[in-house]
Amino acid sequence: DIQMTQSPSSLSASVGDRVTITCRASQSISSYLNWYQQKPGKAPNLLIYAASSLQSGVPSRFSGSGSGTDFTLTISSLQPEDFATYYCQQSYSTAMYTFGQGTKLEIK
């Protein structure tokens, strides 16, 4: 299986901050990398697909980059509604999809 490792596991930040979350794959996955946001008691919600494509309806302060094994999710200016847990997911191996362990973004 392709292992996905996110860092950090948790992060404290303030409204207006620029935040970056990293995701590393255990082997090259080209650009087959998706990002999700999950709020307590809710299902994950797609933010970014194919490493850098913004899902329709997602604010432009969210952006993704990377290819191969290293990827980043950036929030350019944190808003109160952005405090949540973020997950990366590889879609390269469709026989066994895998997710990162999550990054919990908390208010400082």
| Residues contributing to the site for other proteins (CB under 8 A) | 31-32, 34, 36, 42-46, 49-50, 55, 87, 89, 91, 94-99, 101-102
CA distances from 34 to 3, 12, 15, 47 (A): 14, 23, 24, 8
Q: List phi, psi (to 5°) of 48.
A: -135, 135
Q: List phi, psi (to 5°) of 50.
A: 50, 40
Q: How far is the CB of 46 from other proteins (least distance, A)?
A: 4
Q: How far is the CB of 56 from other proteins (least distance, A)?
A: 10
Q: Where are the beta strands (DSSP E) in the chain?
A: 4-7, 10-13, 19-25, 33-38, 45-49, 53-54, 62-67, 70-75, 85-90, 98-99, 103-107
Q: How far is the CB of 48 from other proteins (least distance, A)?
A: 9
Residue 14 or 94: the one with the smaller Cβ distance to other proteins is 94
Residue 40 or 80: the one with the smaller Cβ distance to other proteins is 40
Q: How far is the CB of 30 from other proteins (least distance, A)?
A: 9
Residue 17 or 63: the one with the smaller Cβ distance to other proteins is 63
Residue 31 or 69: the one with the smaller Cβ distance to other proteins is 31
What residue type is 21 in one-letter code?
I
